[in-house]
Structure 1
Amino acid sequence: MEKIENDLVSVPSELNDLKEHLQGNITVDYDMHTLTLDSEVGKGQVRYTNLQSGLQTFDFKLKLIKDIEIPIDSITSESIQFLYCLDGKCYHQFESFEKATLIERFQTAVAHSDKSLASKIIIRKGNHLVLNIICVNKKEYFDKFSKENNPFGKKLQGLLYDIGTKSKHFHLGSYSLKIAEQLKLLFGIEYSNEVSELLSQKGRYYLILAEHIEQFHAEIENNSNTSGLLKNELMAISQVSDFIKGHPEIQHSIKSLCLESGLSPAKLQEGFKFMFQRTVSDFVRNVRLEKAEKLIKTTELTISEVVYSVGLTSRSYFCKIFKKKYSCSPKEYKSR
């Protein structure tokens, strides 16, 4: 992507305001803006994406050498903020006299404040933080959908409007691996061209917002953790799923994955069904198919070599499950 150095005319005011607290240089990749930190502040970046009017997202991926407090007004005003901590930890605080609330790794939070009550995000030095914040302007965004077919449902829309009418609201949510998986793809996936990258990234932010809203609604209604799994169990599921993705060629079994994760077979299956809506064996199969599809598309390997590379032994079985997923045989897919 073409990168343009800091241009105050094209850079959103939100990112210029943020630059006052996190000093650095701003570059522009089409309509994505990145603030790269100066070395005296720390290492890392903050990426700003304007999804549409009234809907923006910030991705913090940094490690500071000093504590920094970022006023919410520097990011957004008169909005509802959906926060998710993918790695590390940070704090949210309403004004200085209130106790700061810790947001841990894999944890969600929903916040709202108006101009009469300031709030801020606190980032401690030495902490490698990966934080996503989706800012939703109630009037610009939700009012728009009230005149159309609202994808979030009238009941849910009313709930969010109730939040927006309160001068102060903060909800510390439970841990979510579903959002973690979407953000991992945002940060780690490779794209074949700039258009597909842009569309895929923006589409995934909408999926993350939908998951935030669904989880928030469930927790408000049920007043409980929607996963039923402990934090350490969710972290173990995340680690073992990453292990499978990194090594699809291994002959994974429930026993070996339980040893890898330290979870019981029941907890392992429960975690995968909650996280991926799949059994462990279905998840392994899908990972192998997606890896095979990528190899067919991007390499000169024969179909038999692809089958071996993803840990399968039967070409006929591979062709059967591939056709079921991609609606054509591997040979037809390769010829296209």
Structure 2
Amino acid sequence: MLIEVKSLPIKEVINNIAEAFETTYEQSCGEYFLNLPEHIGKGNIRGINFEGGMGIVQYDCIFEEEVEFHFTINKVHPLKFLYCLEGSLEHRFEGYDDQHEIVQYQEAIVASDLFNGHILCFKPKTHTIINSLEITRNEFQKKIQCELVTMDDKLQKLFNDIEAKELFYHDGFYSLKLADLFREMQTFQGGDFLKKLFLEGKAYQMLTEQILQYEDDLNDISGRNILRRTEIKQIELASELIRKRISKLDNIAEIASEVGLNANKLQEGFQSLYGTSVKQYIKQTRLNLIKDLVLNTEYSMSEIVDLAGISSKSYLAKIFREEYGTAPSDYRKHFIDSLTKKQ
């Protein structure tokens, strides 16, 4: 199914799509929304414009057949930041044959040249969620009133190219901070007015995080400091290695290297997933192990020192007292006495 979208702004885009699908759309406080009719599929498409040339379009759809949206209005098209939260999307520029596949957790910055548009292709019977942050560059420049001189040269050129003289494409995997923003946008429960304010704030946050990520992408992989959504499994592996090797754990850098991350990313990941630093996570893992050994085994304190990978019985007593307010031997005695009384 080929859908021709020959209009701007987002209100007219949603109207065009609704007409092609032979359905209606709703609007509330500047947000335009349509549910897919049954013969097209399941899900919805929604969009909202903000002052200053920014807008957001979200596709949350399962199409019955392959659907191509051809955005072909005879004007300079908005700069688009595409984010694939689920499923996959194929993108190409009008007038060009190169196809770009954007898979789950991937992002792409796309800008067509001249009056050429964009073609977005959705696969059939596949749940696909795409967020598109859209920027009309001439309006955006008037809004921000900045020279953009501190931005990377290529991005400066991209934002200043208000006549769309050059094609631009960049892709990568979006950051954990962007993933958090998308989750907040999906779960916000406020009313229409509050939702519009909320989404406008998130649009600027998305742009900020995307620019930071683009500049981070320019570094070698080992030198990138922003954690990507796809790297969560590596953080989880690091926590598993810490638990397994707690008795012989040497240093954080070794763990980071083994899971394929640098130390900064490892720290950011632990803060995001577990709400603590790697050092504190290791300390708490040791304390949990020590408590288990004290309560559920007959190991001596010297043996527990070795099993927990700490330096001495005095250090064991110190960290245990800080956490539980008593010495480990006294904690064990109190626990055994309590069990005896119950029996």
1:92–1:103 Cα contact (<8 Å) kept: yes
Q: Which runs of 5+ in 1 are unaligned?
A: 1-9, 241-252, 286-316, 318-336
**CA distance 1:51–1:100, shift in 2 (3 Å):** same
Q: Does 1:155 align with 2:154?
A: no
Letter in 1 for 2:201: G
Give 1:290's aligned residue: none
Superposition TM-score, scaled by structure 2 size: 0.61
Distance in 1 between residues matched to 2:209 and 2:228, nearest whole Å: 19
1:282 to 276, 282, 299: 276
SS of the residue corresponding to residue 61 of structure 1 reads strand
Deviates more, 1:195-204 or 1:132-141: 195-204
Counterparts in 2 of 1:232 and 1:107: CA distance versus 1, 3 Å: closer
Equivalent pair of 2:227/2:269 in contact (CA under 8 Å):
no
Corresponding position of 2:197: 199
For residue 25 of structure 2, give the secondary structure of its aligned residue in structure 1.
strand
1:60 equivalenced with 2:59 (yes/no): yes
Question: 1:105: which partner in 2?
Answer: 104
Could you tell me how far apart the structure 2 residues matched to 1:181 and 1:209 are?
14
Instruction: Tell me how far apart the structure 2 counterparts of residues 11 and 229 of structure 1 sit (CA, whole Å).
Output: 32
Aligned-pair identity (%): 21
Comparing 21-30 and 67-76, the one that deviates more = 67-76
Q: Secondary structure at the match of 2:119?
A: strand
Structure 2: unaligned runs, 5 residues or longer: 1-8, 245-253, 281-322, 324-343
**One-letter amino acid of the counterpart of residue 274, structure 2:** V
Q: Spell out the pairing of 1:71-220 with structure 2 (5 A cutoff).
A: 71-73=70-72, 77-95=76-94, 98-146=97-145, 149=146, 154-156=150-152, 158-161=156-159, 165-191=164-190, 193-219=191-217
Query: How far 1:17 moved relative to its partner?
Result: 2.4
The answer to whether the Cα contact below 8 Å between 1:79 and 1:138 also exists between their aligned partners in 2 is yes
**Is the 1:112–1:163 Cα contact (8 Å) retained in structure 2?**
no
Equivalenced residue count is 254
Give the Cα–Cα distance (whole angstroms) in 2 for the partners of residues 94 and 45 of structure 1: 24
Contact 2:108 2:172 in 1 (8 A): yes
Partners of 1:279 and 1:117 lie apart in 2 by 42
**Secondary structure at 1:184's aligned position in 2?**
helix
AA partner of residue 91 (structure 2): H
> 2:219 is aligned with what amino acid?
N
**CA contact 1:84–1:131 (8 Å) conserved in 2:** yes
Determine if the alignment matches structure 1 residue 222 to structure 2 residue 219.
yes
TM-score (norm 1): 0.63
> What is the RMSD computed on CA atoms of the aligned residues?
3.8
Distance across 2 between alignment mates of 1:144 and 1:68: 35
Higher alpha-carbon Rg: 2
How much does 1:180 deviate?
1.4
The one-letter amino acid paired with 2:51 is Q
The aligned counterpart of 2:231 is 233
CA contact (8 A) 2:175 2:229 kept: no
Deviation at 1:274, TM superposition (A): 3.8
Q: For residue 289 of structure 1, what is the aligned residue in structure 2?
A: none
Where 2:61 maps in the other structure, the secondary structure is strand
Q: Structure 1 233/279 Cα, relative in aligned 2: closer, same or farther at 3 Å?
A: closer
8 A Cα contact 2:176 2:228, kept in partner: no
Residue 16 of structure 1: how far off its partner (Å): 1.4
Question: 2-side partners of 1:45 and 1:91: how far apart?
Answer: 19
